[in-house]
Structure formats: C-alpha cells, structure tokens
Amino acid sequence: MATAEQTVHVSEFTNEPFIDFTKPENRSRMGEALKNVKSEFGREYPMWLNGQKVTTTDKRTSTNPSRPSEVIGVFQNATKEMARQAVEDAHRYFDTWKRVSAQERAKCLFRTAKMVRERKFELNALVCYEVGKTWVEADADIAETIDFLEFYGREMLRLGEPQKLTPMRGERNYLVYIPLGVGVVIPPWNFPCAIMAGMTVASLVTGNTVILKPAADSPTIAARFIDILYEAGIPKEAVNFITGPGSVIGDVLVQHPKTRYIGFTGSKEVGLRISELAGKTVPGQMWIKRTVLEMGGKDGIVVDEEADIDAAVEGTVQAAFGYQGQKCSACSRAIVSEKIYDTFVQKLVERTKKITVGPSEDPDNYMGPVISQSAMKTILDYIEVGRKEGKLLIGGKRAVGDGYFIEPTIIVDVDPKSRLAQEEVFGPVLAVIKAQNYDRALEIANNTEFGLTGAVYSKNPEKIKKAEETFHVGNLYLNRKCTGAMVGAHPFGGFNMSGTDSKAGGRDYLLLFMQGKSIAEKVS
C-alpha cells in the first residue's frame, strides 16, 4: 500500500485547452517561437543509450517539407550492435526502475506536463516546421501530448494501488499490476509529439524501461521531448533514444530475446511485419512478446438523406483535408445517399475551393505540405488511379511552391470495391461513393479490411441506432467529423487491419503495459 507520504493528490482530469490564435498576443508569441526554432535549424542531436550521449560517423537529416532544402536537425545512424546493446542495457536497468513507486513515476509525468505546457509555443513551432502541421493542427498535437501525460499519470495512481478482489474468509487476497520489462516504442511521424509521447510515457509510468526509435521524418520533436523527460526526473537509463533506418535496427529491436513488448503506430504493412516477427520465439526468450499495434484506416463518413447536409459537408471537408489527410482517422470515403448525392457533391466542391495550400508556418494556409517526396509521389499515383476509376472534380495535381504541396482532391462516382475505395492513400484525396439507401451505405462503410473510425450524419434516431449496432469501427462518431479524438473522452483504436484496438487515451490502455499478479495469504 502507498504510505501517507507517498500519496499524490491530483484534480480530476480535464483536457488541455487549445490556443486561440485569433488573439493578437498569441499570434505574436507563435511568430516569435517560429523565429526562435528556425534559428536552431541544422543542430545535431545525439542518441541516448544507457544514460550516455552517443554519436556516429554516419548521419541522417530531418528536413522541412514546406521547404525541403532546410535541414531541421542532424541525427545519428545507429548500428545493429547498438540496437542489441540498447535492449541489454534497458533490461539491466528494468530491475531498478520497476522498484520506483507508482506515485513517483506519476509525479515525473505531471512535471513533464508542466514543462511541455510552459514550452507549448516552441514545441508547436517545431511541429509546424518538421512535419508540416498548421498552427491549429500543431497546437492540437501538443495539447494531446499534455493530455496523455496528465491522464496516464492519474491512471497509474489508480492502478498502482492493490486492486480489491472478492473477499475469501481466512485469507488476505488482492491483485497488483506489475510492469512487463523492456518495451520498444516505434511511433509515427503524423502525430510526432502526441503519439510518440503517449506510447513512451504509458510505458514508463507503468514501470517499464523503453527504447524509443522515432519516425525517420520526425526525430527532432522526439529528441526535444526526451530532453524534457530527463529534466522532469525520468532517469536517462530508463528511456533510450535511438535513431537510424528501421531496415537496419527495427528488426533487431523487435526480435531481441529480452524485448518484452512492442508499441507501434504506423502502416498496416509494417505493423503486420512486427506482429509476425514478435510471434516467433528466439533462443533465450522467456515470454510471449506482446504487441500494441495501431495501423491504418479507410475511414468513411455516411451521409444519409435525412442529414443536415451543410454540417455533413463541413465535417467531411475538415476530416478529409485537415493535416492534408495524413491522419489514420482521416475521412477518405464519403458514402452518400443517392437522393442527396448531387446536392452534397456540389456543396462539397464549393467548400473545398476555399481551402488554401502553402507553407504550414503561415497561419493563412489551411493545408500545408505532405510529409515527403516519396509520399507525394504515392499520393499523385493514387490520384491517377482515381482518374480512371471515377470522375475528378477538383484538385488532382501538385500545388504551387517548393514544398510537397498537393491540391485537395475530390473524385466522385467511385465504385465501392475499387482501389481508391479500398486502399489507404494517406493524403488529401477524397473518394465519393453513391449509395442506393442507408442500409447499403452502411454495407459499403464496412466493406474494407480496416475498422478504425467512421461517422454518420442523420437526423433519424432509428438510423443512428442501427449505425451504433452495425458500423464496425473502433471509434464511431455521430453527426460530427471522424477525426479529433480527445484523450479521456474518445479512447482511440480500431478493429480488423486497423490494429489491436489499443484504446489510447482510455482507462484500459495502461493495462496493456502491465500484467496482473494475484496474491492470497492464509490468515488465522
């Protein structure tokens, strides 16, 4: 049991408020932060292995997708041996870190949240530059980071206490949750701070040691966050920071016999490979490795004939083109009743024409760049597929500028089984599909291998109820967009090929990083 001195008293969790950028003082502070962050472009960042700074002769860079010639940070390329040693070192330190009380670990998260809050504008600016998020999208990323820190800290205070069981006469019986061991955390670039931080601190607060391998396109924000964690009191040995190509070090980290679990968010292909590799036991392995996988989506918004069409258009545009469609929750299919199809499409195109595209640090732009040249090529290739499978109404090509800019693109009259309706594009491309009736619309919504998010617009309560029962997604939204999950309010994770339904930001999430130990003592 926690002693009186250890008890941590915290307020009830509330979500971090977003910055109001219409206020001149906030616009000024953000402008200043952008200048300050830009002045540090080209800085070199070390790895942190076993509490020590490590550099290599082989380097890699992170660049600004709005201006690819700008180098944001210089990073190290780790060797396979460094990756192997990182697991060994983390395994050795696990015995020390797991003995730190849950209360002390939670306090580290609360201190980290305070520091992130104080540096919010600086971190927002870095996210703008490194991954092409606009001011509002970057701010949402950092706010979610704070939410994860505050929420998981509170959850650990709850789960860190002995859990009550059904009493047995003549026994003292209870259950405790204990950590698993070494966790390998492999986050994506699209929520470069929030998801990276969420998986890392969920692992740490539950008493595990971590090897964090950030996404190749967003290592700078991860390096800055790791510095804040250390400053907040997380021992350097508890979280190792390793950079380098996944093709070199990824498999080594996943397959090491002392790796206990892997937390991954990213593509279906990489997630399935991790699942396969983790499922094979290797000499010296003493456990079944656990995987926490959040993968892709082919998310649909169903627009019923009894919907508020204007609200549905606005929600669809925001979900399809917010952050250039580069969210696993983004709407990539609008499935529309044939009775309102033409009206919806007309309004959708008119609304999309108002979208501005350009460098993400300019607050007048609603859309910034896609993440990389290879991503841009893939998206443009999908648009060419879409031209053959449907009718291109707006967009369809690269937008003006040096960055990786693509116009918001709408392709209509798409067949539900076509490639554009089935494959994850991960860019600002929306397929519009006509449905004969509401039941058929729900069938189409469920006809992909994914099951992450979905939305339904309808004023009919019976139809809403039917969607609740039959729309097979981990996160279902009714009369609102299918993006924008909030920690605590919308636990996030999907079905089928969208992953293991991990429900990040929910009350079950930390249990994925622990195991239950039941204890019973006979008493006289």
Average pLDDT score, the chain: 97
Cα separation, 173 vs 171, whole angstroms? 6
Specify the pLDDT at position 7: 72
Which burial class, exposed, middle or buried, applies to 108 when counting CB atoms under 10 A from its CB (0-12, 13-18, 19+)? Answer: buried
Cα separation, 262 vs 304, whole angstroms? 40
Architecture of domain 30-295+502-521: 3-Layer(aba) Sandwich (3.40)
Specify the pLDDT at position 2: 37
Model confidence over 458-509: pLDDT tens digits? 999 999 999 999 999 999 999 999 999 999 999 999 999 999 999 999 999 9
Active-site position among 122, 155, 237, 294: 294
Asked if 368 and 355 touch (Cβ cutoff 8 Å), the reply is: no
DSSP notation for 508-519: TGGGGGEEEEEE
Q: At what angle do helices 438-445 and 461-470 cross, to 10 degrees?
A: 30
Specify the pLDDT at position 9: 87
Q: How large a percentage of the chain has pLDDT more than 90?
A: 98
Specify the pLDDT at position 6: 57
- Mark whether 128 is an active-site residue: no
Asked if 230 and 46 touch (Cβ cutoff 8 Å), the reply is: no
Active-site position among 328, 361, 407, 482: 328
Question: Could you tell me which residues come within 8 angstroms of residue 122 by beta carbon, excluding any fewer than 6 positions away?
Answer: 33, 36, 37
- Mark whether 328 is an active-site residue: yes
Instruction: List every span in the chain annotated with CATH 3.40.309.10.
Output: 299-486
- DSSP strand E in 113-212: where? 171-179, 182-186, 209-212
Tokens of 37: 């962050």
**Rounded to whole angstroms, what are the CA distances from 71 to 114, 217, 455?**
29, 12, 39
Specify the pLDDT at position 524: 79
When pLDDT is cut at 50, 70 and 90, the band that residue 54 belongs to is: very high
Q: At what angle do helices 219-231 and 120-131 cross, to 10 degrees?
A: 160
Model confidence over 409-449: pLDDT tens digits? 999 999 999 999 999 999 999 999 999 999 999 999 999 99
Tokens of 153: 């800290």
Specify the pLDDT at position 176: 98
pLDDT for residue 180 is more than 50: yes
| Residues 367-394, mean pLDDT to the nearest whole number | 98
Instruction: Provide the residue type at 226 as one letter.
Output: I
Residue of 213, 44, 215, 33 whose CA lies nearest to 138: 33
pLDDT for residue 5 is more than 80: no
Cα separation, 207 vs 211, whole angstroms? 13
pLDDT for residue 167 is more than 90: yes
Q: How large a percentage of the chain has pLDDT more than 70?
A: 99
Model confidence over 352-374: pLDDT tens digits? 999 999 999 999 999 999 999 99
Using DSSP's 3-state secondary structure scheme, residue 66 falls into: coil
**Rounded to whole angstroms, what are the CA distances from 504 to 208, 295, 493?**
17, 13, 7
Cα separation, 18 vs 142, whole angstroms? 9
| Residues 313-334, mean pLDDT to the nearest whole number | 98
Element (H, E) at 261: strand 259-265
- Residue labelled with tokens 């929750």: 329
Mapped to the 3 state alphabet, what secondary structure does 213-229 carry? CCCCCCHHHHHHHHHHH
Give the pTM.
0.97
**Rounded to whole angstroms, what are the CA distances from 436 to 170, 308, 315, 419?**
66, 18, 22, 21
When pLDDT is cut at 50, 70 and 90, the band that residue 1 belongs to is: very low
Specify the pLDDT at position 172: 96
Mapped to the 3 state alphabet, what secondary structure does 287-336 carry? CCCEEEEECCCCEEEEECCCCCHHHHHHHHHHHHHHHHHCCCCCEEEEEE
| CATH of span 299-486 | 3.40.309.10
Instruction: List every span in the chain annotated with CATH 3.40.605.10.
Output: 30-295+502-521
